[in-house]
Amino acid sequence: MGFKCGIVGLPNVGKSTLFNALTATAAAQAANYPFCTIEPNVGEVAVPDPRLDILAKLAKSADIIPTRLAFVDIAGLVRGASKGEGLGNQFLANIREVDAIVHVVRCFDDGDVTHVEGRVDPVADIETIETELMLADLDSLERRVDQLEKRAKGGDKESKETLDLVKRALDLLREGKPARFVQRRPEDEKTFRMLGLLSSKPVLYVCNVDEASAATGNAFSRAVEARAAEEGEGSVVISAQIEAEIAILPPDERTDYLAAIGLEEPGLNRLIRAGYALLDLVTFFTVGPKEARAWTVTRGTKAPQAAGVIHTDFERGFIRSETIAYDDYVSLGGEAGARDAGRLRLEGKEYVVADGDVLHFRFAT
């Protein structure tokens, strides 16, 4: 199961620098001009999780395999993208393919780096991008209404339900609010996702600050944080330039470098964890002498579907899962200790996997 976060923003806000640091590669060109990223670049990153190392040590695992997230570097959007300005149509299509949006906003003042709008105003930048996504959604939905109404009048139940969601989304969009705020029931979710609305995707704001503000943030980033709080969204303060420098340092030099600038860990670690939380993901583990491995599923996933993430045969032939909570596994010294203490549980098809579960699946071939 793959999860993708699309990195978006206006040109020259630091998207490609951030992406390069995330993937520790030079795959995405970073340059001081718009549209330096013409095709979306995709990089996978490990999700930092100290629990995995602890489990591997207890089980004496030969290999450690973390769970991963994909980040897509999408070229900079500009005002008018919804009408095809710049490379708008292509960029909007790339956004449609991701699960969540990491919105990088410029929170630094530097006369050597051109701002496409001629000024530094991160909240206005957010509104520019949000407006383009909403305009694209409005156009998409308005073109569907007539056909849906005809089908609904003809008694098509599915079209009637879809039309109701479309009208609610249109009402909100016309008020200048993104589609992710449409009120809906759990049973509406599948139909809502099928609408493919750009402004319905969860958003994490990344405040790209100057190096001096990496530990404390600045007035620009605080304005973004206030905006995010109003929307109920998350935000992270990062200096993309510092992260790029950290990425090329030998691992044994990174701790001293971070301490010297007042940071406990790379900002990218916080970004990755925030992206993981944004997608409402949980981690379960499989642990043994061969390997300790972390796996990613959405919150609420049941045991057979979690087994299917490892291999489709596991889901088809699922019998039960041997389940140990992470805290029990660690406090009792591993699987044998948990089994002896009666903390290993046998869970069936209706069991909802919890974050940190150590699982061993039984299945019929």
Q: Which two tokens mark 72? A: 């897509």
Instruction: Give the model confidence (pLDDT) of 38-48 as tens digits.
Output: 455 888 888 88
**Residue 148 CA from chain centroid, whole number:** 32
Instruction: Give the model confidence (pLDDT) of 310-340 as tens digits.
Output: 999 999 999 999 999 999 999 999 999 999 9
60 CB burial (10 A radius; 0-12, 13-18, 19+):
exposed
283 appears as a binding residue in the annotation: no
Cβ–Cβ contacts within 10 Å for residue 25, how many? 12
- Quick check: 113 pLDDT over 60? no
| For residues 95-102, average pLDDT | 89
In order of start, what are the domains of the chain with their CATH numbers? 4-50+66-134+199-278 (3.40.50.300), 300-363 (3.10.20.30)
**Residue 140 CA from chain centroid, whole number:** 24
317 appears as a binding residue in the annotation: no
How far, in Å, CA of 76 to CA of 318, rounded?
45
Q: Give counts: helices (H), strands (E), the chain.
A: 14, 12
Instruction: Give the model confidence (pLDDT) of 55-94 as tens digits.
Output: 999 999 999 999 888 888 887 665 654 455 544 456 677 8
20 appears as a binding residue in the annotation: no
Quickly state the pLDDT bin for 350 (edges 50, 70, 90): very high
How far, in Å, CA of 133 to CA of 198, rounded?
6
Backbone angles phi, psi at 83, to 5 degrees: -105, 10
41 appears as a binding residue in the annotation: no
SS3 content of the chain, % helix, strand, coil (to 5): 45, 20, 35
pLDDT in the model for residue 2 = 66
pLDDT in the model for residue 43 = 83
12 appears as a binding residue in the annotation: yes
- Quick check: 114 pLDDT over 90? no
Biggest distance spanned by C-alpha atoms of the chain: 69
15 appears as a binding residue in the annotation: yes
Q: Which two tokens mark 113? A: 């780096």
How far, in Å, CA of 254 to CA of 262, rounded?
12
CB 326 within 8 A of CB 51: yes
Q: How many CA atoms lie within 13 A of 39 on its CB side?
A: 4
